[in-house]
């Protein structure tokens, strides 16, 4: 894998096209305005007046009435897609076919086969593609990996991570299997990605959950098992709270990622002497830049400037592997299995 240049040495300006004007897009694009070399050139919404208002809010010179119009804009180098995830495969495919680099919100698609399909296309076209898995760029996760590599907790043996919240039943996309329905794909992707970061792909998966009659998984809890008795215990739910903190435990201590673990700015180190491990953990506090997306956005710019087609922090292989595990969990709990055909809007 090619090493990235230092951010200080990367000066190229990248033209960005934004697709979708919802809450997450607003939050991420606000961070994009703070990234050196990022020029927000155009915005597409299904509603032309929303696109124009969003463009004005973030200083983009134009908006596009159709997705095709945005993709035909020769000034745009990279497209950020922040629409409900049942649309991601098709929209990402179209953007790659139009010659654009793509940053697509998590989850990149609905199945491992769809993800593989997209990375294959990106590689064929020599274009950069990444899922917006910002958690992996969070300084707390860099520190977590450094502490594990340094042996602070000894050999990592187990992990716990959950993301459960009783979201309002407002008819939004998370309640619609044809848009962003699936608590495992929407929320469960964070604990699964954390488990893959620490232990890699599991040898076996045990899962159970609550599935609506149309196949939408509303809640799931799962154990990922590895050799020598290592395991990750995880859960995701749209129905009730499940403690948002995470932890990684080893032979010499453990680390807590205070909730919400995927966005944490601190680590609690239960390491060192028995006194510190049990009664007086050390707190490590880290900075958050903007809304938390700046490290990821900077990573995308640097990777594109370096001519990479994937990012070393969240590679094609990493992404496919996480989706293979998600496929297994969804199958185990009896969630509807989406197909390329059924995802088309
Ligand atoms: N990284 C994070 O922190 C984070 C947080 C929350 C969500 N997400 C992810 O971001 C994605 C979007 O989530 P969200 O909660 O923002 O979803 P959302 O509010 O349902 O939709 C986002 C935007 O997509 C557009 N849209 C809606 N339905 C569409 C459709 N059928 N076809 C094309 N465009 C459509 C709309 O923008 P227009 O009206 O402008 O067309 C809408 O505002 C999901 O994949 C989700 O998992 C990421």
For the stretch 163-202, pLDDT in tens is: 999 999 999 999 998 888 899 999 999 999 999 999 999 9
Percent of the chain past pLDDT 70, that is, above it, reads: 94
For ligand 1, is residue 212 a contact (CB within 6 Å)? no
Instruction: Give the pLDDT band (50/70/90) at residue 1.
Output: very low
Residues 237/164, Cβ–Cβ less than 8 Å: yes
For ligand 1, is residue 48 a contact (CB within 6 Å)? no
Distance (Å) from CA 179 to ligand 1 centroid:
9
What is the rounded CA–CA span in Å between residue 206 and residue 218? 17
Whether the predicted pLDDT of 244 surpasses 80: yes
Give the pLDDT mean for 127-136.
98
Domains along the sequence of the chain with CATH: 7-134+294-311 (3.40.50.720), 139-289 (3.30.360.10)
Q: Quote the pTM value.
A: 0.95
- Residue 66 Ramachandran class (φ > 0 left, ψ -120 to 50 alpha, else beta): beta
Give the pLDDT mean for 56-69.
98
Whether the predicted pLDDT of 339 surpasses 50: no
Find tokens 């745009």 and name the residue.
76
Instruction: Give the pLDDT band (50/70/90) at residue 229.
Output: very high
pLDDT digit string (tens) for 303-324? 999 999 999 999 999 999 999 9
Give the pLDDT mean for 36-55.
98
- Residue 20 Ramachandran class (φ > 0 left, ψ -120 to 50 alpha, else beta): left
What is the rounded CA–CA span in Å between residue 339 and residue 282? 47
What is the rounded CA–CA span in Å between residue 293 and residue 301? 13
- What pLDDT sits at residue 30? 98
For ligand 1, is residue 31 a contact (CB within 6 Å)? no
């Amino acid at each position: 894998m090619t090493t990235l240049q230092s951010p200080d040495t990367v000066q190229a300006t990248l033209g960005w096209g934004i697709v979708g004007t919802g809450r997450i897009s607003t939050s991420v694009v606000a961070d994009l305005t703070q990234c050196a070399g990022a020029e927000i050139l155009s915005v597409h919404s299904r509603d032309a007046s929303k696109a124009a208002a969003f463009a004005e809010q973030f200083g983009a010179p134009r908006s596009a009435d159709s997705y095709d119009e945005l993709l035909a804009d020769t000034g745009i180098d990279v497209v950020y897609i922040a629409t409900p995830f049942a649309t991601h495969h098709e929209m990402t495919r179209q953007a790659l076919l139009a010659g654009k680099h793509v940053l697509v919100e998590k989850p990149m698609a609905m199945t491992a086969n769809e993800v593989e399909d997209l990375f294959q296309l990106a590689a064929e076209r020599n274009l950069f593609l990444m899922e917006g898995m910002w958690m992996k760029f969070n300084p707390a996760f860099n520190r977590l990996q450094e502490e594990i590599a340094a042996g602070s907790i000894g050999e990592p043996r187990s992990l716990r991570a959950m993301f459960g919240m009783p979201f309002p039943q407002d008819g939004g996309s998370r309640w619609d299997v044809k848009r962003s329905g699936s608590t495992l794909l929407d929320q469960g992707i964070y604990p699964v990605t954390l488990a893959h970061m620490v232990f890699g792909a599991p040898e076996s998966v045990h899962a159970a959950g609550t599935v609506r009659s149309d196949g939408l998984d509303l809640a799931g809890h799962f154990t990922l098992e590895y050799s020598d008795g290592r395991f990750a215990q995880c859960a995701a739910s749209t129905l009730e709270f499940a403690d948002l903190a995470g932890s990684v435990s080893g032979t010499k201590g453990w680390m807590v990622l205070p909730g919400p673990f995927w966005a944490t700015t601190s680590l609690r180190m239960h390491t060192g002497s028995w006194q510190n491990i049990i009664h007086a953990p050390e707190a490590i506090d880290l900075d958050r830049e903007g809304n938390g997306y700046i490290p990821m956005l900077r990573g995308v710019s640097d990777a594109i400037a370096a001519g990479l087609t994937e990012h070393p922090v969240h590679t094609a292989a990493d992404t496919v592997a996480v989706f293979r595990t998600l496929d297994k969990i969804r199958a185990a709990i009896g969630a509807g299995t989406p197909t390329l055909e059924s995802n088309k809007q």
